A and B are shown apart, each in its own frame.
Chain A
Amino acid sequence: QVLLQESGPGLVKPSETLSLICNVSGDSISSFYWSWIRQSPGQGLEWIGSVYHSGAAKYNPSLESRVTISVDTSRTSFSLKLRSVSPDDTGVYYCARDRPLGDFLVWGRGTWVTVSS
């Protein structure tokens, strides 16, 4: 059974970089795409981007200029970096595993990130 666990700071200052890691257990990262999805307070879900085990990544055009998603060399985790954050980036950040038809069956529990000085 694949398990995903997000980790990282819960508080980030405006203009700084939000950095999160998703640890993957129970499955090889060398398959499928692996995504980051976020949910702002009281809002819906927004796909941030995803990465393949080769390192190839694709991003939401609305965030692409500020986002980098990469796979750890150990192939047991992948990470998110979101630069120049503002309070609008506050919310719950989830990692998830993409399936071939693009649905998200497996999700991490999510981690709350607040952007505030």
Chain B
Amino acid sequence: DIQMTQSPPSLSASVGDSVIITCRASHSISFYLNWYHQRPGRVPNLLIRAASTLQSGVPSRFTGGGSGTDFTLTINGLQPEDVGNYYCQQSYSIPTFGQGTRVEI
């Protein structure tokens, strides 16, 4: 299996801040990396696919980058509705998810 490691495990930031979450794969996965946001008690919501493609309807303050083994999710201008957990997921082989990053305000 390809292991996905996210950092930090949690973070606290203020409204309007820029936030960066990183995801590292144990093997190269090219651009096969997706990001999800999950609010408490809700279904995961796809934000970014193929490392950097913003899913339709997702605010432009979300940006994905990286390739190979190192990826980032950047939130430019954190909003109250952005709280929750963020997960990366590789789709290069058998799908695996990162352990999540909890974002608080």
Instruction: List residues of chain A with CB under 8 Å of any chain B CB.
Output: 35, 44-47, 58, 60-62, 94, 99, 101-105, 107-110
Closest to A35 in B: B95
B94 touches A58 (CB 8 A): yes
Given A44-B99, A45-B97, A60-B94; A104-B32 close (CB under 8 Å) = no
Closest to B99 in A: A44
Kindly state the separation between the CA atoms of A101 and B49 in the bound complex, as whole angstroms: 8
Kindly state the separation between the CA atoms of A102 and B81 in the bound complex, as whole angstroms: 26
Q: Name B44's contact: one of A45, A60, A62, A99 (CB within 8 Å).
A: A45
Kindly state the separation between the CA atoms of A10 and B75 in the bound complex, as whole angstroms: 37
List of B residues within 8 angstroms of A62 by Cβ: 1
Closest to A99 in B: B49
Kindly state the separation between the CA atoms of A61 and B96 in the bound complex, as whole angstroms: 11
B97 touches A47 (CB 8 A): yes
A105 touches B97 (CB 8 A): no
Kindly state the separation between the CA atoms of A62 and B87 in the bound complex, as whole angstroms: 20
16 contacts between A and B (CB under 8 A): A44-B98, A44-B100, A47-B94, A61-B1, A61-B94, A62-B1, A94-B44, A101-B34, A101-B50, A102-B32, A102-B34, A102-B91, A103-B46, A104-B36, A104-B89, A108-B43
The total of Cβ contacts below 8 Å across the A-B interface reads: 54
A107 CB → nearest B CB, Å? 5
Given A44-B87, A101-B91; A107-B98 close (CB under 8 Å) = no
Kindly state the separation between the CA atoms of A62 and B96 in the bound complex, as whole angstroms: 12
User: Which residues 21-44 in B have Cβ within 8 Å of A in the complex?
Assistant: 32, 34, 36, 43-44
**B55 at the binding interface (Cβ < 8 Å):** yes
Given A44-B87, A44-B100; A105-B55 close (CB under 8 Å) = yes
Q: Mark B41-82, 1 if CB is under 8 A from A, else 0.
A: 001101001100001000000000000000000000000000
A45 touches B94 (CB 8 A): no
